Structure 1
Amino acid sequence: MLMKSTVSVVALLASLAGPAMAENLRPDALAPLDPPPAPADNPTTAAKVALGAKLFFDPKVSGNNGMPCSACHLPEAGWAIQDPISFGYPGTTHWRNSQTIVNSAYYGKLFWAGASKSLEGQARSAARGAVAGNGEDDLMEARLAFVPEYRKAFREIFGDEYPLIRNAYRAMAAFQRTLVQTDTPFDNYMRGDDDALSEQQKRGLEVFAGKGNCITCHNGPLLSDEAYYNIGVPPSPIWEEDPLAQITFRFELYAKGSTEEMYRHTKDDPGLYFRTKQKADKGKFRTPSLRYTKYTYPFMHNGTIETLADVVEFYDRGGDTNEFAANKSKLIQPLGLTSGEKEDLVAFLESLSGPEILMEEPDIPEIAPLPVAQQ
């Protein structure tokens, strides 16, 4: 409550003081990003990062030797994919939007419903997921063991006689912790550079912290409180139009222990309910970071909102309605923003992204050929 009051007072004073005060508005609830943390049991090293980069792009770490992590996290698509729903394992589709892995090093809750608590756990879940990687540990380890370059790297970095898949996940997590962006215009402004934001972006920050009420959930250095909300995102039309998506979604409802009634009749993503089985959690999803969103459209857990301008319009009208409307957060109310305030807010949101992070795909080592038997 103290944080919200402080923000409201700052915003009020800025509006009363006029343009001079607004130019230097730096809400206490926001902060620039510091370098990412690394767990003590998986320190980040150059060799580990280099190995993790190869594994991230290598389809050997998947069920069918054809679905690397990069299939759903493309550098040129914001390290996600710019489709509403992510790709699935052949014969399936996914049921949620692919999130960017840029700045994922800072999350304490990975995936839309917080199913993993670390990048190491996230890598394991993605590689083994039935509608994503669909990988079996022993099969993936066998593929890696037939690559001399991997055997050498795993031995030197982890001491493995042969590559262990759990260490592959540790290497990929180390690589992901290097995909961070701490020098956006917003970060530079929060560190004291008054010229880092344009006048329009400063006005947008004022809307963000005041009338728009965005800061209530999008706060801290990551601009996410990592809490869960039902904000009224409508269901994806893909469930009505795509038979493959319908089959996949039914499988998810069944596999995650939904009731018979839900399995037969639900047409919308229950979100956090999959983990808690509490009716009050139906339709709730973790607050995503607003960083790097310039490149990660479309938005929301099911990709139903196309642009940042559309996101602002969604919140301005007080959200929409989904199947779990009884759980819609009371925080989501009509805002009454003017057209100018909406444009300013979009401009500020764009300041949360710096230059696009791109990299050339590393050379993927091949499985060594089997020796030819002598006649």
Structure 2
Amino acid sequence: QPFKNKNFFVTPAGETLPSKLENILAAQALFPVTSATEMAGQMGENTIANFAAEKDFTSIWNALAERLRSIPAYVSLFEAAFPKIKNGSNELTFADAANAIAAFESQAFRFDNSPFDAFLRGDDDAMTVDEKMGMSLFYGEAKCASCHSGPFLTDHQFHATAMPQIGPGKNHGTSGREDFGRGAITEDAADNYKFRTPSLRNVALTGPWGHDGAFSDLKEIVIHQLNPFDALAYYDRTQPVLTGRSDLDAIDWIAMDDAVAVDQLADACQIEPVNLEPDEIDQLVSFLYALTDLRALDMTDIIPSSVPSGLPVAD
């Protein structure tokens, strides 16, 4: 693995990934600040952006850690959370910040109180009849659980599901408008069009669906996943919510208008078609709604009134 390090985390930082990371969530927390399109900004805008343009992750993390060390209130909080910093055996680094972010995320974004969870804990009335029927289909005839399994309803693996390719793409394929997904990382054509199985917790709240937002209707992506071959052939191009910009409109459908590319996408699909009746599809969708933890509908309580840096907190 070209991106592996001594922590055995596969990341773009390779061997330069800090060693004090407590888990994979902490490793992930390191990278939004390295992305020009997320937090770093564009080259020339600031020092961090310049480092990001050069893929100099270590300099980014060191610079941000220096900022944290310059704010006494942050230092006090980190010393309280990480005793090794307080006793002087470790200097505050951005890895500590990543560990802190991961600890926050693992608590604040824990969603395990959906009707489905309540049912599993023994409350037979937590789910409706349709939701229970949908659950039976999910774990049975519809074969959804062959990929969407475990506590997070994902096997965390990569699969090709013939998801329509829309938008500018990732400079893959003959047109440059395709996204080869996992294949672009492994450089193995057998992995082309494979994407990681997403968690289905709160799935009713996380649209648009598909790695590229190809579906704006949850039922429609369920129909696609049940029979990707037919669904791809008859894909409804009104499903994605597009920008309406003329410069982007011209490239949104290049990959889908390429018959050879669409055939390759279909040929790579790993899902065996499943035929369900319309009412069974509705029941399956009902079950997906039963995966919603109502706390996710309003999370304003986790927004602090202020932060130690003094920077404004958005409403």
Alignment partner, residue 173 of structure 1: 102
* CA drift at 1:143: 2.4
Find the residue that maps to 2:164 and give its secondary structure.
coil
Alignment partner, residue 202 of structure 2: 292
Letter in 1 for 2:309: E
Q: Structure 1 173/131 Cα, relative in aligned 2: closer, same or farther at 3 Å? A: same
1:344 matches 2:283: yes
Alignment partner, residue 34 of structure 2: 128
Letter in 2 for 1:365: P
Number of aligned positions between the proteins: 236
Higher helix share: 2
1:154 matches 2:78: yes
* CA drift at 1:312: 1.5
* CA drift at 1:327: 5.3
Instruction: Map 1:39-50 onto structure 2 (within 5 A).
Output: none
TM-score scaled by structure 2? 0.67
Alignment partner, residue 235 of structure 1: 165
Q: 1:330, 1:302 → 2: CA distance? A: 19
% identical equivalent positions: 28
Q: 1:327, 1:172 → 2: CA distance? A: 41
Find the residue that maps to 2:132 and give its secondary structure.
helix
Which residue of 136, 156, 159 maps to 1:226?
A: 156
Instruction: Map 1:255-294 onto structure 2 (within 5 A).
Output: 262=173, 265-294=175-204
Residue by residue over 1:152-180, the C-alpha shift from the partner in whole angstroms, topping out at 9 and shown as x without a partner, is: 11233234376421110010000111021
* CA drift at 1:133: 2.7
TM-score scaled by structure 1? 0.57
**RMSD over equivalenced CA pairs, Å:** 2.8
Q: 2:285, 2:227 → 1: CA distance? A: 16
Residue by residue over 1:67-112, the C-alpha shift from the partner in whole angstroms, topping out at 9 and shown as x without a partner, is: xxxxxxxxxxxxxxxxxxxxxxxxxxxxxxxxxxxxxxxxx9999x
Letter in 1 for 2:121: R
Q: 1:156, 1:206 → 2: CA distance? A: 48
The answer as to whether partners of 1:282 and 1:327 remain within 8 angstroms in 2 is: no
* CA drift at 1:183: 2.0
Which residue of 118, 123, 127 maps to 2:24?
A: 118
Structure 2 gaps of 5+ residues are 1-8, 13-20, 41-47, 49-59, 234-255
Q: 1:186, 1:331 → 2: CA distance? A: 25
4+ residue runs of structure 1 moved beyond 6 angstroms?
108-111
Q: 1:126, 1:138 → 2: CA distance? A: 15
Residue by residue over 1:177-204, the C-alpha shift from the partner in whole angstroms, topping out at 9 and shown as x without a partner, is: 1021222111121222221110111111
The answer as to whether partners of 2:153 and 2:200 remain within 8 angstroms in 1 is: yes
Alignment partner, residue 218 of structure 2: 308
Higher relative contact order (CA 8 A, sep 6+): 1
Residue by residue over 1:135-166, the C-alpha shift from the partner in whole angstroms, topping out at 9 and shown as x without a partner, is: 51233123223322112112332343764211
1:203 matches 2:109: no
Find the residue that maps to 2:148 and give its secondary structure.
coil
